[in-house]
A and B are shown apart, each in its own frame.
Chain A
Amino acid sequence: MVKYITRRILQVIPMLLIVSFIVFFMIHLAPYDAIDAITTPNMSQEAIDLLRQRYGLDQSFLVQYVLWLKNILSGDLGYSLVTQQSISSELLTRIPNTIKLILPAYLTALIIAVSLGLLAGANKGKVIDRLIDGICSIGISMPTFWFAMLMIYLFGYRLNLLPIIGMHTVGQEGSFIDFFKHFIMPYFVLVVAFFPDLTRYVRSSTFSQLSEDYVMVQQSFGASKKEIFMKHISKNVLLPIVTQIGLALPMLVTGAIITESIFGWPGIGPFLMTATKGLDYPVIMAVMLLSATLVILGNLLSDVLYTIIDPRINQRGTK
């Protein structure tokens, strides 16, 4: 098991290198750079050249990449070209804010998805199944930003129940109630954004379990529908859910970009949006690297969880 995990982690390194190279290359394909983004017509060419020189943007693409890589390897994520803030300290304040929002929303969505999915699965083709499926269709096709605006308009403005911007009222950073009031709307928007996909997943895997032989065997032994669901199907359905949880790991960083920007939530979202607009490559690269690492770790995590639940998979993995 340990050997398996170590090997998988070692495989991650070349993968991250390739991903980082591709992203770096893509950023450099853009028709302008961070300095162009902050240049104004009042700036002399000399001042612009000086800036470009200071950030090494006058160097060739490969030299820039190697320099960046060297910094990363020594544990330095560097500084934003536009604001010159240390990226690691920005990430350290922003990631917890994002997690505070995403984690509860994702867990709620998961609980809703499992309940609704099993319910729909147990009533295949009946009204309740169609209703759940219909709700999921709407949920999937509804743009997050639109739904967020609807919430803001209704609960923030018309009914005036909740504050609409940020994570806190200025000066009330310590108050949990104040935080909670700010939290409800973006949380709800994210729950609605997350649960339909998961529900569909649970629903369809319930269907496929229903057509398995063991269900027929149980039925012929005279087990009630309830028993079959509680004892067998739900267990077998939850197993693939583990994969979903692993794959959801990168969402902790990049899962709420739109929602955060709309609600002015001080997480990764607005930070990455501004950086992308200004082609602030050290910031884009740092967030990308983080999220790529999480994708790979998430995959690893779901594989490991699998082996714990079903040891047969482990044998296949280490053969």
Chain B
Amino acid sequence: MEKKKIIPILMLGALVLGGCSTNQKSEKSDKAQVTDKDTFTYAINGDPTSLNPINVSDRWGLTVTNMIYSPLVRVEGDGTQKMELAEKLEPTDKGKALVVELKENVKWSDGQPFTADDVVFTYEQKVKKENGGADTLWIDDKPIKAEKLDEHTVKFNLPSANAAAINNIATETYIIPEHIFKKEGDFSGSELKGEPVGTGPYKLDKYQRGEYLQFSANETYYGNKATVPKVNLRIISSADTTKVALQKGEVDASYISPNNIKDLDGTKLDTYEYSENRVGYLGLNNNSEKLKDVKVRQAIFYALNKDDLNKAAYLSDKYYENAYSFLPPNNPFYSDKVEKYETDITKAKTLLGEADAKDLKLNLAFASDDPIQTLQATLMQQQLQQVGITVELAGGDGTAMFAELKKSDTTKYDLFIGGYIMGTDPDLYTSLFKSDGSANYFHYANKKVDDLFNQGAIELDEAKRHIIYENLQKELMDEAVIYPIVDSRKVLAVNNRIEGIKESGLVPIYTFEDLSKIKIK
């Protein structure tokens, strides 16, 4: 019996080997590449959650929205402003109002002219809390109001002076046409009934749920008309399939993880790395009795080795940058004049001794389906062992972990690994670190931090604002509640028949800032 079973096993083995040994023939298979000259195909890993520009917040939803609609202004990663539908914006009334002049001769994709009414209409919908996208348009529980001055000028009235608001209201809000959506009734859903008519570089032709979204160039786009007539977003949930589809040329571009990059050597794929301004961190739960003493927290940080954690996870410094503050390194307010917690085992041990924390046992939560977090968690376990801290690994579902950490009195986890992409203005980070912040997973309360956040929000002088946030970063690092690990790069693999990827502007979330700039060779 045993002997006979060998035959099919051998057959199978031959099949596997056959698959591997054809490596040299890869040039041969290239000839049948999908060579559609008109279409750029981008692989995404799931359906967009929302296609409603008023409340969209998921990655693919925003990617699609950014192709169809335009905001008034964009804030680039380095903090500079890029005008889109706005011609000019100026704060007035001592920071209590913002006047926006709109570009003239902009048309919607159905040919209707774009006017101030559309802007006012959009903001009137967006400011309604029940529509689910209002957070940045409320200051001290009072709404920001948009007012039409003339056909091409809109004034935003703020309840009180607020430096962050001036940035936030004009960005991230995609203007929708009043003539299409005025009869909509409900803007709280994830899809609107009206046609997706926009001012962006592309328009949506067809959406086949679970399969693809098909776009064609918008003839009336106010920027340069797109050179690639058609774009498909193809939905593939399996990362392995995506990789093969890329190698084969069935799709032109997709995100890949750094450990897959090597497999793409010798193929027709180029990789582009760019920062998403994401901060990957180790967080400390201040509800935990064991972590109440600041010396214990600092000891943990001194025991860790950031370089080792990152090298192990991201392989090459092409794909990451060490992070030292709660703000990502590219942020215009980023300061490295903070305690960096360079590895110092002796110091860590001394601090633990001073705090009288012997045989410290902590648990560490992380998302076990994330290979990078899993790797870093095991490394941290080893590193902390060196100073006598025993770490118990508590891997699990990421969503469940943060749902638990959100509870105000949670003590289930002592340490946790996470990451956030919050945007450019430092005021957007208040929800994480202010005592009453809605995403204060650290359960950290410090009046000094609260005060600094409050001052930063209302300070209109740019230079003074910088000083405030510098102090804030210093304070947070001294207090040792968050150990920023990394600004990890996204890696986009693109078929080399596609050109102009850099010109299209690789940005957080949307991937391509302006897809009209890509070309097909």
Contacts and interface: CB of A to CB of B under 8 A. Distances in A.
B134 interface: yes
A280 to B, nearest CB: 10
Number of chain B interface residues as a range: 35 or more
Contacts of A163: 250
B47 A83 contact: yes
Interface residues of A, number: 61
Contacts of B12: 138
Contacts of B451: none
B132 A157 contact: no
B9 A157 contact: no
Contacts of B132: 47, 50-51
Contacts of A264: 211, 234-238, 241
Interface stretch (B217-225, B337-345, B395-403): B395-403
B25 A158 contact: yes
Interface string A19-34: 0000000000011110
Contacts of A153: 19, 244
B191 interface: yes
Interface in B28-78: 29, 32, 39, 41, 46-47, 49-50, 57-58
Given A83-B190, A156-B244, A44 B438 contact: yes
Majority SS at the chain A contact face: helix
Contacts of B240: 149, 152, 262
B521 to A, nearest CB: 20
B241 A262 contact: yes
B463 interface: no
A43 B8 contact: no
A17 interface: no
A167 B211 contact: yes
A230 interface: no
B403 A43 contact: no
A205 to B, nearest CB: 21
A266 interface: yes
Nearest to B190: A84
Interface of B: 1, 4-5, 7-9, 12, 15-16, 18-19, 22, 25, 29, 32, 39, 41, 46-47, 49-50, 57-58, 129-130, 132, 134-135, 188-191, 208-212, 214, 232, 234-238, 240-241, 244-245, 247-248, 250-251, 397, 399-400, 402-404, 406, 420, 422-423, 428, 431-432, 438-439
Give the top 7 A-B pairs by smallest Cβ distance, nearest first: A32-B403, A41-B439, A266-B210, A45-B438, A36-B403, A31-B400, A130-B4
Interface of A: 30-33, 36-38, 40-48, 50-51, 54, 82-85, 90, 93-94, 127, 130-131, 134-135, 137-138, 149-150, 152-154, 156-160, 163-168, 170-171, 261-264, 266, 270-271, 273-274, 279
Given A42-B57, A85-B190, A152-B240, 6 more contacts: A36-B402, A42-B423, A84-B189, A137-B5, A157-B248, A263-B241
